Amino acid sequence: MKEKDKKALHDQIVKEVKQDFEERRQKRRPVELAWRLNMNFLMGNQYASITPTGDIDDYGRQYYWQEREVYNHIAPIVETRLAKLTRVKSGVSIRPKTSDECDVQSAKFATAILQSIMEENCFSALLQKANGWAETCGSVFYKIAWNNEKGKKFILDGKTVYDGDVDITVCPPFEIYPENLQIESLQDQPSIIHAKAYSVDDVKRIWGVDVKGEDVNVFTLDKTGVTGGFGYTASVPKIIDEVRHDAVIVIEKYEKPTAKFKDGRLIIVAGDTLLYLGDLPYVNGEGGKRQYPFIKQNSLDNVGVFFGTSVIERIIPVQRAYNALKNRKHEFLNRLSMGVLATEDGSVDTDQLEAEGLAPGKILVYRQGSNPPALLNPGSIPHDFYLEENRLLEEFTMISGVSEIMKYSELPDNVTSGVAISMLIEQDDTRISVTAENIREAVRESGKHILRLYKQFAKSRRLRSIAGENGELEMLYFGASDLTSDDLVLDTENELIETPSSRKNMVLELMNLGLLTDENGRYSERTKCKILETLGFGNWENSRDIADLHLKKAQRENRAFGEREIIPDSFDDHEIHIEEHTKFMLSPEFDMDGKMKETIAAHVNKHREFIDAANINL
């Protein structure tokens, strides 16, 4: 293709991408306004509303004396939900499909590698940030890509190069533009646009291209006085627009694989410049397919809608009613305390009376022959005010799923039964378990994407330090062939339903029932190690259980049998070693390897000789 025709084609692609982006932005406009309204209410700007012109604005006071204080119940509700969701851990474990020893050991190895990778990327902190966006706007996205400028640094031919590593970022929903707002699944979307504002310097640093800067609108926080009454004012944060100068919107359009583009397509546009045009870069789907490098996490799912919903959207009407009720109630109290004077026209100096009021000891002069000013009977606050306030507080609990136990960390006064308390706590966990399950699913998908990216790009073997169960550090070499994510199942524990306390109680109940002992009613050394680990004593005061150390030594010997001759030591716990070596020998991996079996069998026989010699001495 001639250079002139190539440039014309690129210009046409840039024009189509920018036009597509503008159309998606207009279609997503109502959803975006709802997100901005949620953010305003969360931060305390609760007299904001969506105007007919499609913007967020505040409506002013109708009267100068009108109370417009904010009684923010949304912020503590969201904070309570976030605190509850912190129990959903970011760690993942890989569960083997079978109980074969080779699958078990491969799963343990891949789990250790995956956990180390996620810790290096501070995935736990990213998860908390993502939860904040999801609870505010309803949805958040993870972008898991491969960064060639991360990882270990090398000097090659005088140049600094890196071996690359996974790069995980949290994308707010404002940056994601789906093609169809009615398709729920992200991977079912025909295409996805990721748009973000970059400075022209960042574009030059990342893509090596000079682009023309322009003014870009971004969100920022500002303080505005919108509350108070009778002259009192208070400042609350408000989401407003701000213009960012010398910037450009970088549009990344990801297209799903089709008959025309079997590996999909990625187009990156900045301003009027085409930065990239090619296939989808990552083999991160099931069965070695290419798909989008994004993972969606919803707070609450919407049926037939791409973006999720937030509890803030449901609480906003209740919050508005509560603010109005409290302010009208305080206005009533102001009338009760300050009073309302009635005077005849011309009987007193009304300007002076209005300025000074009825101060104690004040001499009030009124026109002779007229009636003196008198306070009108204000009555009392209607009882309906108190009933409505209680009803609104109950609606906060009913709609948000955050009860008194979660919000105040205390039990209701009328609940004293232990069974009832357990049921209330279980109900609290149930209300938030839908959101917790969405988080767990996002963590699982993130683990799969990470392993598949390493399988695609980490061709050379790498050295990584792994923290063992007892706090010791192990240095492990691994490569792409060691991470078989397609053959394993990623799994995370449901911490909300199954808490550490419930697991400990379950273990104690199983011990009382005698289900963990052998036919002689005794606990094996391996069972003791597992019980102590479950009860939380696996790393108790950094002391290493002798049986656990024997178990780990036997497992290390299993991995080294094919490399060198291993002779049992006299101080070995021979029964533990025989059990571990036998399990390893029965795995399908060594069915056809007769030499390996002979080596392990000879090693096991030497352990038995130690046992026989000890019995003879007794």
480-505 pLDDT, tens digit per residue, is 666 655 545 555 555 555 556 666 77
Mean pLDDT to the nearest integer, 70-94: 82
Out of 232-246, 329-343, 527-541, the most confident range is 329-343
Is the predicted pLDDT of residue 375 greater than 80, yes or no?
no
Query: With helix as H, strand as E and coil as C, how does 528-597 read?
Result: HHHHHHHCCCCCHHHCCCHHHHHHHHHHHHHHHCCCCCCCCCCCCCHHHHHHHHHHHHCCHHHCCCHHHH
- Give me the pLDDT at residue 63, please: 67
Q: DSSP letter at 361? A: T
User: How far apart are the C-alpha atoms of 73 and 486, rounded to whole Å?
Assistant: 46
In whole angstroms, how far apart are CA 384 and each of 71, 238, 329, 350?
19, 33, 11, 35
Place of tokens 């001499």: 363
The edge-to-edge listing of strands for the beta sheet with 139-147 is 165-171, 139-147, 294-298
Least confident of 33-37, 141-145, 288-292, 421-425: 421-425
At residue 380, the pLDDT reads 73
Q: Between residues 34 and 93, which one has the greater pLDDT?
A: 34
* Range of weakest confidence among 19-33, 199-213, 231-245, 574-588: 231-245
Place of tokens 């993972």: 295
pLDDT at 132: 93
Residue 30 has pLDDT above 70, yes or no: yes
Lowest pLDDT segment from 90-99, 150-159, 513-522, 547-556: 90-99
At 582, the pLDDT band (50, 70, 90 cuts) reads: confident
Where does the pLDDT of residue 479 fall: very low under 50, low under 70, confident under 90, or very high at 90 and above?
A: low
User: With contact defined as beta carbons under 8 Å apart, do 75 and 132 qualify?
Assistant: no
Indicate the pLDDT class of residue 140, thresholds 50, 70 and 90.
very high
Q: How many CB atoms lie within 10 A of CB 615?
A: 8
For residue 319, pLDDT over 80 is answered with: yes
pLDDT at 528 over 90: no
> Under 8 Å CB-to-CB from 37, ≥6 apart: which residues?
48, 49, 50, 56, 316
Question: Residue 197 forms beta bridges with which residues?
Answer: 249
Of the two residues 618 and 349, the one the predictor is more confident about is 349
Buried b (16+ CB within 10 A) or exposed e, 251-283: bbbbbbbeeeeeebbbbbbbbebbbeeeebbbb
Please report the pLDDT score of residue 586 as a whole number.
74
pLDDT tens per residue, range 240-263? 566 778 888 899 999 999 988 999
Residues of the chain with pLDDT > 70: what percent?
A: 74
pLDDT at 537: 63
Q: What is the largest CA-CA distance in the chain?
A: 128
* Long-range interactions of 111-116: CB distance < 8 A, separation 24+: 112/466, 112/474, 112/476, 113/454, 113/464, 113/466, 113/476, 113/478, 113/482, 113/483, 114/447, 114/450, 114/451, 115/91, 116/464, 116/465, 116/466, 116/467
pLDDT band at 542 (very low <50, low <70, confident <90, very high): very low
